[in-house]
Amino acid sequence: MASTGLPIGGGSTEPGSTATGLRLLEGVGRQTDYWATLWRRTWRGVVASSFLTPFLYVLAMGVLLGGFVDAGAATLEGASSYLAFVAPGLIAAHAMQTAVAETTYPVMGMIKWQRTYEGMLATPLEPRHVVGAHLSSVVLHLAATCAVYGLVMVPFGVYQSWWGPFAAFASQVLVGVAFATWVYGLSTRLHSEQAFGLIFRLGVFPLFLFSGAFFPVANLGEVGAWLARLTPLWHGVNLSRMFALDNVTWWVAAVNTAVLVALIVSGWFWSVSGLAKRMER
């Protein structure tokens, strides 16, 4: 992308000018109107894609197909039914899908097609402010989706404790944010949307199928199970399911959480550096 002639985050063309030094939250807050307007104009599509479709999917997989699954708690990692097993994992997997969808084409559009970021960075905003605001919108979308999804599951008896829905919700948002930060950083480094097809076909879809959302990863064999446990989605699925079923192995939960937090922190720097380098060109 051609340079705008303005220093990133500056807004001044004077030689030797420095960044304005806006605090991160202050810079993110200055973009609230933009993201609120965008949400007002697109919420109808979000409702259909984020709430109705996943609910029907859980109904089909968990209730209808689950009625044919004859397996006990020992096979289903402590779940009393296939619905109780599959629902927490599906919500975590849907968080991943939502995060990837929000950080692929929308990010490239704001860089390459609408050039929205170019206008934002011609103001005192810096790349970290722009990334923070965009990812905050993604977090809000994830939180709304997972919360409604989780509430719908309550009447089905999925949760086995009063605190389970809250802890499962936090883990679902956590895994979504982990994917959002890394995919955002990748999108800033891509120059063609054709690569997104590979991300969905070779990344999202295999993870969706083989990270424990639909069946215990032990069914993949010893090697396959360990490979599945190396994926970020498995950590989110495992956390979500353990909390929902009140069947928590705390040291495993600590490892799952640590992995996701480490991915979020490293993904944040990956995203900010990616946007900064892209917008300097």
Instruction: Render pLDDT for 33-51 as a digit per residue (tens, 0 to 9).
Output: 988 888 888 777 666 666 6
For residues 130-138, give the mean pLDDT. Answer: 96
Q: In this model, does residue 105 exceed pLDDT 70? A: yes
Closest among 4, 39, 32, 18 to 129, alpha carbons compared: 32
Q: Which two tokens stand for residue 67?
A: 């009625």
Residue 255 binned pLDDT confidence (cut-offs 50, 70, 90): very high
In terms of average pLDDT, the best of 2-6, 157-161, 203-207 is 203-207
Cα–Cα dist 120/38, whole Å = 15
Cα–Cα dist 251/13, whole Å = 53
Question: What is the rounded radius of gyration, in angstroms, for the C-alpha atoms of the chain?
Answer: 20
The DSSP output letter for 66 is G
pLDDT in tens, 15-37: 333 445 789 999 999 999 988 88
Q: Which two tokens stand for residue 78?
A: 């402590």
Find where tokens 């982990």 sit: 178
pLDDT at 12: 38
Read off the amino acid at residue 112.
K
For residues 177-186, give the mean pLDDT. Answer: 97
Q: Give the list of residues 6+ apart from residue 141 with CB closer than 8 angstroms, or none.
A: 46, 50, 98, 102
pLDDT at 165: 93
pLDDT at 132: 96
Cα–Cα dist 220/112, whole Å = 41
pLDDT at 5: 41
pLDDT in tens, 223-240: 999 999 999 999 999 999
pLDDT at 71: 60
Single pTM value for the model: 0.87
